[in-house]
Every structure is written in structure tokens, then in C-alpha cells.
Amino acid sequence: MIPDFSRTGKIWDFFWARFKSSQPGERRSFYFASQNTTRYPSLVKILLVANTAWNIWNFRRSLIALLVSEGYEIVCTAPPDGYESKLIELPGIRFIPLVHLTRKGLSISNNLRSFIELTALMRAEQPDLAICYTVKPNIFGSFAARIAGIPAIASVEGHGYTATAPAIFRSFIFLLYRLAFRFVRQVIFLNHDDQREFILHKAVRQQKTTVIMGTGIDIGYFQPTVVSQPVNYIFLFIGRLLSDKGIREFVHAASLVKQVAPGVRFQILGSTDEGNPASIAATELQSWIESQHIEYLGYTEDVRPFITEASAIVLPSYREGMPRVLLEGMAMGKPVITTDSVGCRDTVEDGINGFIVPSENAAALSEAMLQFIQLSRAEQLAMSRYSRYKAVKKFSNDKVLPQYLKVIRAALGPRNRS
């Protein structure tokens, strides 16, 4: 069993000494024992680390399938949230739950326990490569991999809740990134804006970075469906109900559009995020429903039926890594309306497959939706076709996943035996 060091006072000194003495790539004996000692010596083992099992299931599934098909052994680790039961059904992978890692907690003791737990896990599993996703795994996982003598890749997919945090807190996070990313082989970004910002803050050296536009879209699963022209237009918001996703601007814009075109429908598909400081309160959501400006659809595992019925997908987010909901909508041939913000602007060619509006501007958003309504049917269909074309040519699994495979093979170096 992996020991629990939550009550050990001097464990940090021990790990710091181990950290300073280790060299990247070395394999020293250590007394942590694996919870699952099954090992396939002929396979290269890759460990995926994320802050939720949901994250791995929703965003890494296609990459996992590719890696398994290429002969890699895959181990996934994250705090259990129900989606681990889906992950363990995938062929060729194992799942190890993380007990102490939380997405948002700032407790020093809890974060130290998370770091120790990750380090113990890596020492026990001895993967050939660790790939870390999201803020805490990127930071803690990079340090843990260094201590364990394991090469690592960090994937920065937006800033999470730190994007709207106070400047002093963001500066502290960049300092942690700078320390952690000294020890990774490669840092992947989903857009060039994030790459430039991290380089500007000296969080990572440019030659250690690469940009891959998204995590890949299954264009066979998300494909256009022929539907008759709706009697009333439907604008669909998909995502967690967070203020920095622009949900309030969407609702405000809906009220403005309805003053001019009362028949237009506005739908929200997604859930609140309890514990996230940016989450919309249940009372506020209820007031929106009662106002009858929007239709709340709740949460669903399969967004395709709702995208099919929508006239356009709207995401007025303040910042994204690469907004997957827009890419899914584009793959299904839907025009998109989004903001001129990091990540979002990379999905749209303004006036070609949708519209770009200023961030945090409900009036501009309402004008863009009214502009879409006023287009001819032929112009709207042209936008739809170009959305699908752009999704296939730039964001599909066929275009994106080989780029990840290339980075992984380079990080493995001589260990790559697949």
C-alpha cells in the first residue's frame, strides 16, 4: 500500500533531499509498493494525470485509444468522480484513484498530501512517461516526476479558475509553473496566446513548448444531421454555468434579442459547478428560468441531439484553452458565435463560419445573433458547411492526435519501444 504521510512532520525534508539528488530519467529503488504490481515488460507504460476522471474520459479517450493501438500500456490517475467506472471498461488501461488531490482547494497541508501521494504513486508505478493535465497535476505532477526520475509532459489547456484570480495569485501560480516546468520534457499549449503568455512570464522556455490546436474531435461521432429549417431560431449555450464562460452575457443578450424577435429561443445545456467561485448560484439560475428568456435543459452525456436542433452554438467565454463545445458544434455543421478572447478566436473566421464579438459585452453579442437571423438561408448554410470543413481540416482526431503521438515519442526517447 502507498503510505499516508498526512501526519508526518519531517517528510518534506526527506522529499526535498530526494528531489535535489535525483536526475531526470534515473530509476532508483524506493520503498513505496504499488497497489497493482501487474506489469507488462514488453510495453512502454504511460501515466496520465488529471484533476478529475471526467476530464480523462471526455478529453483523452481518443488519445488513449490511439496509444493502446500503438502498443503502449496506459495507466490513468485522478480523483474518482464516477467516470472511473467508464475508464476501466476501456481496453488496455488501468485506473488508480487519487485520494488527496482537489481541483480548487488552497490548503497547504492538503496540497502537500496531494504532492506526496503523486510522488509515491509514480515511484510505485515507475511509468516510462507521465503526461499531466490541468493546473495542479501540471505543477505537482512535474515535481513528482522529477523526484521519481520519470520524464514528463505538461499540457496547459487554459488557466482554469486562476484566469480570473487576483493578479498576485496569478503571479504566484506562474512562479510555481516556472519552477515545475524546468523539469518537464515538453509543454503543450492549445493556442498561441497561452504559449506567448507563459513565455512572457518566463514560466517556460520557448524551445520546450509546442502548440497543438485542441485535443481532437471525432468527426464520425460528431457529424452533420439534415434537419428542416426551424420555425424559430435556437441559440444554444453548452458548458458549465460559470460567470467566466459568459453565461450572464448570454442571458442578458437573450433578453435584448427577445425585445426585437420574441420568437427566438435561447437554450442552456450544462450544470453548475459547486465549489467553484465562478459558478452561478441555483437561485440566479431559477430567476433566469422564471424570466422565460431562456430554456434550461440541464446536463446530458450526449450533446448531439441538442446541437442538431440548434441554429448556432454560442459561447461568450472570457478565456479558453480550445473550446471543445464549439469544435463539436462545428463538426456537426453549426455556425458559432464567440468572443475575441484567448482560445475562442481560433475557432471562428468572422463572417465565414460565425461571428466574433468583444468579451463581456452582452449588447454586441445580441447584435451578432440578430445579424445571424437576418442572413439569408443560403448564407447560413454556407457558414454551416465551412464550420464542418474547418473542423475536419484543422481540429479532427486525424489531424491532431498524430501531433500528440510525435511529442510523446520524442519525450520517451530511447525508452520508446512501441
Confidence tier at 231 by pLDDT (50, 70, 90): confident
Q: What is the pLDDT of residue 418?
A: 55
Please state, rounded to an integer, the average pLDDT across all residues of the chain. Answer: 89
Report d(CA 120, CA 5) in Å as an integer.
Answer: 10
CA 130 and chain centroid, separation: 17
Interval 285-297 mean pLDDT: 95
Select the more confidently predicted residue: 6 or 70.
70
CA 77 and chain centroid, separation: 16
Domain borders along the chain are 21-32+42-216+398-415, 234-395
Report d(CA 302, CA 213) in Å as an integer.
Answer: 23
Q: What is the pLDDT of residue 6?
A: 41
Q: What is the pLDDT of residue 160?
A: 64
Q: What is the pLDDT of residue 103?
A: 73
C-alpha cell at 373: 437571423
Q: What is the pLDDT of residue 150?
A: 96
Q: What is the pLDDT of residue 274?
A: 80
Whether 21-32+42-216+398-415 shares its CATH topology with 234-395 is answered: yes
Confidence tier at 183 by pLDDT (50, 70, 90): very high
Which pTM was predicted? 0.87
Q: What is the pLDDT of residues 321-362, one digit of tens each?
A: 999 999 999 999 999 999 999 999 999 999 999 999 999 999
Select the more confidently predicted residue: 163 or 356.
356
Domain 234-395 homologous superfamily, CATH: Glycogen Phosphorylase B; (3.40.50.2000)
Lowest mean pLDDT among 43-52, 108-117, 301-310: 108-117
Report d(CA 352, CA 385) in Å as an integer.
Answer: 10
| pLDDT more than 90, % of the chain | 78
Dihedral (C-alpha) 23, 108, 168, 190: value to the nearest 10 degrees?
50
Q: Is pLDDT of 41 > 60?
A: no
Q: Is 31 exposed, middle or buried (0-12, 13-18, 19+ CB in 10 A)?
A: exposed
Q: What is the pLDDT of residue 228?
A: 65
Report d(CA 401, CA 62) in Å as an integer.
Answer: 8
Interval 282-295 mean pLDDT: 94
Q: Is pLDDT of 21 > 70?
A: no
Q: What is the pLDDT of residue 10?
A: 46
Report d(CA 330, CA 224) in Å as an integer.
Answer: 9
Q: What is the pLDDT of residue 42?
A: 59
Q: What is the pLDDT of residue 336?
A: 98
C-alpha cell at 218: 471525432
Q: What is the pLDDT of residue 164?
A: 60
CATH: 3.40.1440.10, 3.40.50.2000, 3.90.550.10, 1.10.3720.10. Which one for 21-32+42-216+398-415?
3.40.50.2000
